[in-house]
Structure 1
Amino acid sequence: MSRARRALAATVTMAVASMTLTACLEESSPHDAVRDFLVGWQSNDYALAAGRTDADPETVRKALADAKLQLDAASFRFKIKSLKVEGEESRAAFGVEVDLGDNNPLWTYDGMLPLHMVDGQWKVRWSPSVLHPQLKEGQRFAVKAEPQPRQPIVDKDRNPLQEQTFLYVTGVVPAQLGDRAEQVVEQLTQITGYAEDRLLSRIRSAPPNVTVPLVTFGRTRYLQVKAKLDAIPELKTVTQAQPVDPDDPKQIVGKVSALTPETEQKLGGPQRAGDSIGQSGLQQAYQDFLTGSTRTTVITLDLKTGKEVAALKEWPGRQNLSVRTTIDSSVQEAAERAVSDTRTSALVAVKASTGEILAVGSKGLHQEKDALAGRFPAGTAFSIVAADALLRSKVSPKQKLPCPAERTVGGARFVHASQVIGSSPTFQENFAKGCVTALASLARRVSGAELDRSARSFGIGQTWRLPLKSFSGSLAKLSSDADKAKAIAGQNVEVSPLSMALVASAVASGTWRPPVLVTEPAEPDASAELAPAPAVQPVPVDPRVRKTLAAMMRAGSAGTVAQNGRGRVFGVTAKDVGEDKQMAWFVGWQGDVAIAALTRAYDPAALAGNFFAALDSRS
């Protein structure tokens, strides 16, 4: 909850508490003094509270106001626990709840109000211990905040997926400000836009002899304002190395920025100057894990020396953690090399036996929005899924199927733009060559329910866990032969490169598995935009169907540049996809690496071949 919201909640609570205290303490004698003192302290009516003590009112008023500033407290709340009277002496035990703001935990402790009679009236016997039992004369409160440095995002072998870069942290030493604190803060606010009261409260609540970080700049912004900062002698700027410059896959790792007034206001706490904010990708999804939270300690200080006297309460904060991904940096490098020759492409590689995402390469497309979450027409690449349903429906891969240039099925017209296959090709040959007219003709051999079942078993339309946006695919309602024919030809099916890579991995391994991108920590940040979905279970492929499908996909890659003269590559190519007929797919695998490559105006089989060649050349 942000400071503003917590302050509002505290105001409402204060009003209720005031009525409660008044109702409980309607009797005269010490009750009135206890009531007025605590209500005045809680409501910032320090004159009311001071009037119920035996000390100089200005001294008490200043002490109460200073306590709030020194703790940078959003509110104080109190609860009377007991009140004992012995002649002209009395003692009231009370509980204290201090909201330290910035999403820190509430600080609770027990206090004691000693009272005595002064000229016939009950008065609180004033001393610093009224504020806290351990606070003594010549001491003050302070809050020591120690933000933890950002942790890296790493690949599967724990190698960082970003480079160190420098942020510029500007701060002050409170003891060196003298009477210029407000003036310095006003100048800094004019330069940065940060709220003046927030900067000033951080200075006043900090130990006087430590540097208090106030504002963080990226390099570009720092160079823009450096001259203005240098003109304020009390400001000190230090460089701070943080792992924020992303390596490939850059858009999956995500961008990081320094804390700004806008992001601070949006995020609330526990961010402080020196923190960095994930703006996209995994850096954003795991922001709180990567930054952890600030270690906060309430302490007492000696006013003369500024040295720490005692620690009253400490909150270590949540330990920040590195985020371990499934990215294999050598596979990622192969993907980057493969897409470098294209103008528009995306390639997703997964480990077939686990569903782990090994690489996401792209050129002219976004790695998250397109490669993981894009919605593209499947074309005849979907024939892999359709073939599962057709083979289950006893369609033989050896069945003869003419491949005419045009065919109409259920009123839907299909055109095979490529060279017509020989006079009597088989189902397997039409599958391998992507003959739309032949494949569409099989619509009457399979039900819509069977096609839908195969789609679901290959992950199409499933809701899986992934910390970034992704799209598993969608299949239109199949209520007619025309609908089924379009589905077999992939014309009413939308998929992402990720979902098609998982289709290939299902045939390669014998089991469809949901994608995995992050292995540690197990769950994304609870404040992330995407709430985790229920776990999706793996789905085995019928062993006999898989054996036939593998043979068909082996035929699909035979003689294509996907082979590139290396190893056994299985796959299918789908060309002339989409309304502009410029998109094309290659979906397949080699060994335990399954891929989906989507290109525009480029041979996807060549892209796949370049990828597998780069993969094979790894030392």
Structure 2
Amino acid sequence: MALAVRVKRVVSAGLSLAAVVPLLSACFSEPSPHEAVSEFLVGWQTGDYSAAAGRTDGDPKVVRRALEDAGLQLDAASIRFALKGLRTTGDAADAKFRVEVDLGDNNPIWQYDNDLPLHLVDGTWKVRWSPSVIHPQLREGQRFAVEVSPEGRQPIEDRNGDALQTEETLYLAGVYPARVKDPVGLCERLYQLTGFAQDRLLSRIRSAPPQDFVPLVTFNARKYAQLLDRLDEIGPDLKIEKKSQPVAPAQPVDIIGKVGAITPETEQQLGGPQRAGDTVGQGGLQKAYQDQLTGSTGTKVITYDLKTSERVAELAKWPGRTNTTPVETTIDKGVQRSADLAVSGTVPAVLVAVDTQTSEIRAVGSHEMHQEREALAGRFPPGTAFSIVAAEGILGPGGVDLKQKVPCPADRTVGGARFQQTASPVGTAPSVTAGFAHGCVTALASLARRVGANALTQSATRFGIGGDWSLPLRSFSGTVPEPTSDAAKAKIIAGQTVRVSPLSMALVAGAVASGTWRPPTLVTAPAAPDLTSDVAPVPPPRPVQLDSGTVAKLRTLMRAGVTSGTAATANAPGDKVYGISSAITYTDKKRARSLSWFVGWQGDLAVAVLTETNDPAASAQIAGQFFRSARTAA
């Protein structure tokens, strides 16, 4: 919104002027030096430079040009004045006034005090003209310039301080102002090519130090290659400089986010002070933490000699913002490589890995699925993988015994809801443990009569389902419908009416592994993005310690899922692997989708794997590959 911000400041200056003019006029109602001071300052402030020049003893053309050039050279959104005093001695007078220059584009407000000398000329009070009327240090043959010095973009780092982006070459099209023969024509042609406002391009040239390279537009390598011939046609005054910045995202790409050059659209969206050469996050953490990662631009007001273009004096200086900082994440590059390798097959897949003791996100791997929209914020039915959560309520104190026999028929109706088991074991009478390990939907659904509605909803709450997280990116903690009947409870246990994200299920596995559910963490510093909203961020939910006896039973069930159940392909050398797998087909926006899940852990890494395939073993195989690779990397 750089242009919108600039316009707003001009309007504000005009409103201020409405109050200034009556005040000056009221104070200076009699012919006196007051009238000359009033007309000069009001003319200068409103841009009526001819009226201002008429109240001086200088050449009107020279004065008018000097006042106009000062505003252009400062790229000022407004110049305002406040009279501080006036003293008359015979035919001479001196007015003291405060100058306030809005340097525009969210740059600083420059304030300074000055004297306005006056004398009588043929009975009329005139301002004694010299460039020092504009600024006490400005002399004949000198000009203003505004020097800006943007800092490079800060990195996003993994938990060990390694950068999660690589260097990329950007191409800056710009000029050396003192060498440009036709700045108006150049800016017109550049506007036609890029869409950047011609007046803003021109003002940057006019206000910049004459011998400095002034970047006007930035291109990535692809865009630069497309426009190279047309850029050459603009002429030799347009120069191209290369700039290398660490902006190309490493994995997890969607979580880190891409970085792009400033465009006319992003310039208006972001406000100031964005200039060519600046970068903008286009997604992920790069977008969420844009203000912390970039925007540290220093500003100086300098005078230059018009003939030699040499610097004369520094009139004012403002350091860049000091609160830019790297973003420190919980991602582990080694674990991320293992996740990337594991999902690099032929089926769409996501894998979320979290630390079992802290719930810090260590990796988000994906293949043909989006890491933020689907791994963190996806809304999927978990099938019988949700029986981990349901079992916490079913197996609690006084609940069902693991050895209890529960038939696993091919077809069963619970409260009017029909469930079908297509995979083995079928036609047998396995225990609760076997039904859980094999994901027998008919056996698990039958337990709906053995658990109360409150027990199910409270269990979901203890595992963070439906809670508010404080992640800087979009995420989904899950939803569980109200279990108003045995049929509704059975569908929840079978994971048919529940919706969860892979992240929420990875946290479930981590909770069983550690005995405590904890909210997820992705960024450790800074604490939160620099939000412009006045609404305070929602604090993360507190950890929830689970019943130790129930957790022991859940671990037994999840170990059986790997040793004798459908998740056997997730087994890996080293520490024991715990987990279960499930498969479910459902209709999403009138399209049938088949999903395969694995939820479990090994050592200090808990994972949820989701694949879109009709192969029920696909996710467990990916999990096994991940555990083997992660152990080797460690």
| TM-score using structure 1 length | 0.95
Q: Which of these residues, 198, 202, 205, is aligned with residue 203 of structure 1?
A: 205
Residue 584 of structure 2 is aligned to residue 576 of structure 1? yes
Kindly provide the CA deviation profile for residues 577-612 of structure 1, in whole angstroms up to 9, marking residues without a partner as x.
Answer: 434472111101011100000112242111111110
CA shift digits 1:345-384 (9 cap, x unpaired): 1100011111111111111211111111111012111111
Q: Once the two structures are superposed, what CA deviation does each residue of 1:513-548 show, in whole Å capped at 9, x if it has no partner?
A: 111112222222425999843322222222222122
| Residue 377 of structure 1: aligned partner | 381
Q: State yes or no: 1:412 paired with 2:446.
A: no
Match of 1:294 among 294, 297, 306: 297
Judged with a 3 Å threshold, the aligned counterparts in structure 2 of structure 1 residues 504 and 76 are, in CA distance, closer, same or farther, namely: same
2:274/2:295 contact within 8 Å kept: no
8 Å contact kept, 2:5–2:271: no
Structure 2: how far apart are the matches of 1:80 and 1:539? 65
Superposed displacement of residue 488, structure 1:
1.3
Q: 1:443 Cα deviation (Å)?
A: 2.0
Alignment-derived partner of residue 489 in structure 2: 484
Q: Secondary structure at the match of 1:191?
A: helix
- Could you report, residue by residue, the CA deviation over 1:136-179 in whole angstroms, capped at 9, with x for unpaired residues? 333221100112122322211122222211111111111112x4
Residue of structure 2 in register with 1:156 after alignment: 159
**Which stretches in structure 1 are left out of the alignment for 5+ residues?**
none
Question: What corresponds to 1:193 in structure 2?
Answer: 195
The question of whether the paired residues in 2 share the 8 Å contact of 1:407 and 1:437 is answered with yes
User: 5 Å matches for 1:539-618?
Assistant: 539-559=544-564, 560-579=568-587, 580=592, 582-601=594-613, 602=615, 603=617, 604-618=619-633
CA contact under 8 A between 1:270 and 1:293: conserved in structure 2? no
Q: CA deviation at 1:297?
A: 0.9
Q: Does 1:96 align with 2:95?
A: no
Match of 1:337 in 2: 341
Counting matched residue pairs gives: 618
How many Å separate the matches in 2 of 1:529 and 1:475?
31
Contact 2:2 2:273 in 1 (8 A): no
- Residue of 446, 457, 467 corresponding to 1:462: 467
Quote the residue 2:186 is aligned against.
184
- Residue in 2 that maps onto 1:23: 23
Q: Which residue of 2 aligns with 1:427?
A: 432
Shift in Å, 1:249: 1.2
SS of aligned partner of 1:141 = strand
Deviations 1:286-305 (A, max 9, x none): 22222233221111122232
Counterparts of 2:397 and 2:48, CA distance in 1? 82
Contact 2:6–2:105 (Cα < 8 Å) also in 1: no
* Counterpart Cα distance in 2 of 1:402 and 1:376: 28
Partner of 2:359: 355
Aligned equivalents of 2:423, 2:578: Cα separation in 1:
21
Residue in structure 2 matched with residue 14 of structure 1 by the alignment: 14
- Aligned match of 1:217 in 216, 219, 224? 219
Taking a change above 3 Å as real, the CA distance of residues 105 and 480 of structure 1, as seen in their structure-2 partners, is farther
CA separation of 1:528 and 1:607: change in aligned 2, threshold 3 A = farther
Contact 1:286–1:528 (CA under 8 A) maintained in structure 2: no
Distance 1:313 1:482 in 2: 74
Three-state SS of the structure 2 residue aligned to 1:523 is coil
* Structure 1 position 459, deviation (Å): 1.3
Q: Which moved more, 1:347-356 or 1:540-549?
A: 540-549
Structure 2 residue aligned with 1:166: 169
Q: Over aligned residues, Cα RMSD in angstroms? A: 2.2
Q: Distance in 2 between matches of 1:555 and 1:270?
A: 59
Distance in 2 (alpha carbons) for counterparts of 1:381 and 1:82: 80
Q: Is the 8 A contact 1:355 1:513 kept in 2?
A: yes
| Alignment partners' CA distance in 2, 1:453 and 1:469 | 25
Matches of 1:111 and 1:89 in 2, distance apart? Answer: 17
Which of residues 107, 114, 126 in structure 1 aligns to 2:117? 114
**CA distance in structure 2 between the partners assigned to 1:569 and 1:301 by the alignment:** 71
TM-superposed CA distance for 1:203, in Å, is 0.7
Matched, 1:400 2:405: yes
Tell which deviates more after alignment, 67-76 or 126-135.
126-135
Deviates more, 1:337-346 or 1:441-450: 441-450
Identity rate, percent:
55
Cα pair 1:14 1:42 within 8 Å, conserved: no
- Which residue does 1:313 correspond to in 2? 316
Q: CA deviation at 1:264?
A: 2.1
Over 3 Å counting, the alpha-carbon distance change for 1:105 and 1:457 in structure 2 is: farther
Q: Distance in 2 between matches of 1:570 and 1:216?
A: 51
- In structure 2, relative to structure 1, the CA distance for the partners of 1:577 and 1:61 (3 Å cut) is same
Q: What is the Cα deviation at residue 38 of structure 1?
A: 1.9
Q: What is the CA–CA distance in structure 1 between the aligned matches of 2:459 and 2:445, rounded to whole Å?
A: 17
SS of 2:185's equivalent? helix
Matches within 5 A, 1:316-327: 316-319=319-322, 320-327=324-331
Residue 499 of structure 2 aligns to a residue in which SS? Answer: strand
In 2, the alpha carbon distance for the partners of 1:5 and 1:161 equals 33
How many angstroms does 1:425 deviate by?
Answer: 2.3
1:505 aligns with 2:505: no
The 2-side partners of 1:34 and 1:410 are apart by 91
Give the secondary structure class of the aligned counterpart of 2:20: helix
Distance 1:583 1:529, change over 3 A: farther
For the residue of structure 2 that corresponds to 1:132, the secondary structure is coil
Q: Give, in whole Å, the separation in 2 of the partners of 1:515 and 1:94.
A: 58
Structure 1 residues 390-399 or 56-65, which shifts more?
Answer: 390-399
1:241-265 per-residue CA deviation (whole Å, 9 max, x = no partner) reads 1112222112212222222223223
Can you list the C-alpha shifts for 1:267-325, whole angstroms capped at 9, x where unaligned? 23211111222212222222222223322111112223222222222222224332222
Moved more, 241-250 or 18-27: 18-27
Q: What CA distance in whole angstroms lies between the structure 2 residues aligned with 1:69 and 1:526?
A: 34
Q: Which amino acid aligns with 1:126?
A: W
Distance, in Å, in 2 between the alignment partners of 1:526 and 1:86 is: 56
Which ranges in structure 2 are unaligned for 5 or more consecutive residues? none
1:67 aligns with 2:82: no
Q: Which residue of 2 aligns with 1:230?
A: 232
- Provide the secondary structure at the position in 1 that maps to 2:374: helix
CA 1:446–1:130 in structure 2 vs 1: closer, same or farther (change >3 Å)?
A: farther
| Bigger shift: residues 90-99 or 156-165 | 90-99
Cα distance between partner residues in 2 of 1:14 and 1:38: 14
In structure 2, the CA distance between the partners of 1:528 and 1:147, relative to structure 1 (3 Å rule), is farther
Q: Given the superposition, is the C-alpha separation of residues 403 and 530 from structure 1 closer, same or farther in structure 2, using an over 3 Å criterion? A: farther
SS at match of 2:633: coil
Task: Mark the CA change 1:479 to 1:88 in structure 2 (over 3 Å): closer, same or farther.
Answer: farther
